[in-house]
């Protein structure tokens, strides 16, 4: 009955909607025929006027002939109430029209009706509706070009007809309150509509209509309202008439009828079901109900109250009796099998080296294994009634609760590590893996926690981490020693070569500035011979500290090049900046005032500096820049020491 009701409802829906679309189509056809007939008469009138010789030759005729033309226009206007104006315009500016005074400077050849006629030539042009300024009447101009005897076109004749009747027609309601029609032109622009505010707008479904056949059904939405509609093409004008009705007005009575039909079907179904229940209860339903009761009692292990039901001697009764006996036999066998399985699982549970705890979803302990005594100091009989939080230090309670929630909702199994508490109050480390016990519907009912003592493992991990940390310290120290000069603490020659190569590659790639300062301590061998090597080492350390202070940019590199030689890498620095820095370095070393009794240059320690820049030289390798700085430094030595020499650019 339910299927029958649904089928009837579907049939009613399609029948009523088809009927509604047929009514909409009929209205659309009626409006189309009216507009087509209306404009066919106007088109024929314009065609007849175009054939009139006096109208075509009006530019060459006298006033009498022109008056006859105007009299003819007046006669046609009186005979046809739909025609408001008949007029003709010519290329020389002449215009013939009754009861209308042309304003100054009016030129008919610039008017839309005249241009449309000239563009169409042999055909008839129908313009768009416009509102007459004085009467506020809606008019449409239909025009045709006037062919001249010698060939070509010298003017156009036009008829302005009222479309108020059409607008009144498309505003009428036929079968539905929300029914209306409107007209759109060949581009999809709405030119006639009961609501003047939408004139000039584009119809949203215009592409679908203009690309299809001359008529058809469609459904469209305007704002929040959905419409059933039908469209027809007007053959005489090329316009399209669309008639629409709000979808809810059509569907509301259909839905009410469908609900009534479904309700009636439901009542019939209930009545028939009740009759069937009464008629078939003794033969079919009662034996099956009693069978269900017996099976439930057998599963629960209960004895049935009252006299035992006697199954009827028919097919259903015999089948129910046999099923009941078979169910009792199978349930007894399954019970024994489950009892044996329970003993096996209990043996495995108690033999596990890890504590296995079963708790409800709130964390209340139901059972613990034998390992709980060894791990926590509790006997298995002490576990039930406790909370799983009783075995964990308070600082880890919040994290433990969060992991339980995560397990229940995301099936998270761990492992998780906590600080645990034994029965005697001592603390140790445990690892917990989680799992859920679910019912037949898949809902969690219990949780299983497998607990392992990881105290020894944690100690081993800590020892390994300490060893790794020590190895990292030794590795970092070795790495620093490999790149640092042990005497001065500056970068060593190896680090200098690596950085210079990188900066030189960047210089070649980006065209940035790169300069180098080579430094040598004057008469340092004499200093060592006179003061001793320990004093010499201290002298080099003081000069290194001075270089660190003077060369303060983070991108600059100061390195010990070898013996008493130092070198400074200056990225993004031109030759002038490098020369200024070299002078500052020399002045700072002199300011140390380290005594040098065996120097031929001064009474204190001095240095010679060579400055070179990669810019202005054709260099292909970083070693060439080093050679330039070294050359400049030796020029400083040859020029008397205690000075700096800047190697000028040369191509």
Neighbours of 300 (CB within 10 A): 8
Residue 26 and residue 243 in contact, taking contact as beta carbons nearer than 8 Å: no
Report the alpha-carbon distance of residue 78 to residue 74 in Å, rounded: 6
- Which H, E and C letters describe 82-144, residue by residue? CEEEEEEEECCCCEEECCCCCCCCCCHHHCHHHHHHHHHCCCEEECCCEECCCCCCEEEEEEE
By three-state DSSP, how is residue 222 classified?
strand
Of 9, 606, 578, 590, the residue nearest 257 (C-alpha):
9
Residue written as token pair 């007005």: 249
Q: Are strands 225-233 and 95-97 parallel, antiparallel or unpaired?
A: unpaired
Report the alpha-carbon distance of residue 249 to residue 467 in Å, rounded: 85
Of 174, 189, 161, 140, the residue nearest 243 (C-alpha):
174
Compute the chain's Rg from CA coordinates: 54
**Six token digits for residue 159:** 């008829």
Q: What is the DSSP letter of 439?
A: -
* Integer CA distances (angstroms), 92 to 16, 95, 479, in order: 62, 9, 103
Residue 629 and residue 567 in contact, taking contact as beta carbons nearer than 8 Å: yes
The alpha carbon torsion through 108, 112, 113, 119 (nearest 10 deg) reads: 110
Q: What is the DSSP letter of 607?
A: E
How many angstroms separate the first and last alpha carbons of the chain?
A: 105
Maximum C-alpha span of the chain: 141
**Six token digits for residue 299:** 């599963």
H or E segment to which residue 145 belongs: strand 138-147
Buried b (16+ CB within 10 A) or exposed e, 39-68: beebbebbeebbebeebbbbeebeeeebee
* Integer CA distances (angstroms), 234 to 35, 140, 190, 218, 643, in order: 7, 15, 14, 17, 104
By three-state DSSP, how is residue 202 classified?
strand
**Six token digits for residue 581:** 């820095």
Burial class (CB in 10 A: 0-12, 13-18, 19+), 337: exposed
Q: Which of 205, 246, 503, 564 is catalytic?
A: 564
Sign of the four-CA dihedral 334, 337, 338, 339? positive
Report the alpha-carbon distance of residue 613 to residue 573 in Å, rounded: 8
Residue 503 a catalytic site member: no
Q: Where are the beta strands (DSSP E) in 163-306?
A: 180-184, 190-192, 215-222, 225-233, 240-246
- Which H, E and C letters describe 227-242, residue by residue? EEEEEEECCCCCCEEE
What strand order describes the sheet that includes 225-233?
A: 190-192, 180-184, 240-246, 225-233, 215-222
Residues taking part in catalysis: 564
């Amino acid at each position: 009955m339910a299927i029958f009701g649904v089928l009837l409802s579907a049939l009613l829906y399609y029948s009523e909607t088809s009927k509604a679309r047929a009514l909409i189509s009929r209205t659309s056809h009626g409006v189309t025929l009216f507009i087509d007939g209306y404009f066919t008469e106007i088109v024929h009138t314009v065609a007849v006027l175009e054939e009139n010789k006096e109208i075509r030759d009006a530019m060459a005729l006298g006033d009498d002939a022109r008056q006859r033309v105007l009299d003819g226009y007046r006669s046609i206007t009186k005979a046809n109430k739909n025609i408001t104006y008949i007029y003709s315009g010519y290329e020389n500016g002449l215009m013939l029209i009754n009861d209308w005074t042309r304003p100054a400077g009016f030129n008919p050849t610039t008017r839309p009706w005249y241009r449309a006629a000239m563009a169409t030539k042999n055909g008839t042009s129908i313009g768009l509706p416009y509102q007459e300024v004085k009467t506020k009447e809606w008019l449409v101009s239909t025009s045709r070009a006037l062919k001249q005897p010698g060939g070509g076109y010298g003017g156009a004749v036009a008829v302005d007809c009222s479309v108020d009747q059409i607008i009144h027609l498309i505003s009428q309601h036929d079968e539905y309150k929300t029914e209306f029609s409107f007209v759109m032109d060949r581009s999809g622009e709405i030119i006639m509509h009961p609501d003047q505010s939408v004139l000039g707008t584009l119809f949203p479904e215009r592409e679908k209509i203009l690309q299809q056949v001359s008529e058809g059904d469609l459904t469209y939405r305007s704002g929040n309202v959905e419409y059933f509609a039908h469209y027809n093409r007007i053959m005489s004008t090329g316009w399209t008439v669309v008639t629409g009705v709000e979808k809810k007005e059509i569907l509301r009575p259909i839905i009410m009828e469908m609900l009534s039909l479904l309700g009636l079907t439901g009542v019939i179904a209930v009545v028939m079901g009740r009759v069937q229940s009464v008629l078939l209860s003794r033969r079919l339903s009662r034996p099956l109900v009693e069978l269900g009761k017996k099976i439930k009692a057998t599963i629960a292990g209960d004895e049935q109250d009252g006299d035992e039901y006697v199954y009827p001697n028919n097919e259903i009764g015999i089948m129910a009796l046999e099923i009941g006996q078979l169910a009792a036999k199978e349930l007894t066998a399954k019970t024994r099998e489950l009892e044996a399985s329970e003993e096996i699982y209990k043996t495995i549970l108690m033999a596990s080296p890890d504590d296995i705890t079963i708790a409800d979803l709130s964390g209340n302990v139901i059972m613990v294994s034998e390992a709980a005594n060894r791990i926590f100091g509790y006997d298995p009989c002490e576990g039930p009634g406790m909370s799983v939080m009783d075995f964990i230090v308070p600082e880890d309670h919040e994290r433990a609760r969060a992991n339980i929630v995560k397990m229940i909702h995301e099936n998270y199994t761990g492992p998780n590590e906590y600080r645990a508490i034994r029965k005697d109050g001592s603390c140790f480390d445990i690892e917990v893996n989680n799992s859920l016990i679910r019912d037949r519907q898949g809902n969690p009912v219990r949780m299983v926690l497998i607990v392992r003592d990881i105290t020894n493992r944690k100690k081993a991990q800590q020892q390994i981490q300490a060893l790794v940390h020590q190895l990292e310290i030794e590795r970092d120290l070795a790495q620093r020693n490999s790149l640092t000069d042990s005497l001065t603490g500056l970068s060593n020659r190896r680090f200098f070569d690596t950085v210079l190569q990188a900066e030189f590659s960047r210089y070649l790639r980006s065209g940035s500035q790169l300069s180098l300062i080579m430094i040598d301590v004057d008469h340092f061998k004499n200093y060592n011979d006179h003061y001793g090597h320990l004093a010499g080492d201290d002298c080099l350390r003081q000069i290194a500290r001075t270089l660190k202070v003077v060369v303060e940019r983070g991108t600059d590199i100061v390195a010990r090049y070898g013996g008493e030689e130092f070198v400074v890498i200056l990225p993004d620095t031109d030759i002038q900046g490098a020369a200024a820095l070299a002078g500052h370095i020399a002045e700072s070393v002199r300011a140390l005032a380290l005594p040098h009794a065996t120097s031929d240059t001064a009474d204190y320690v001095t240095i010679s500096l060579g400055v070179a820049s990669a810019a202005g030289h054709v260099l292909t390798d970083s070693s060439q820049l080093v050679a330039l700085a070294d050359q400049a430094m030796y020029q400083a030595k040859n020029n008397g020491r205690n000075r700096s020499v800047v190697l000028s650019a040369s191509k």
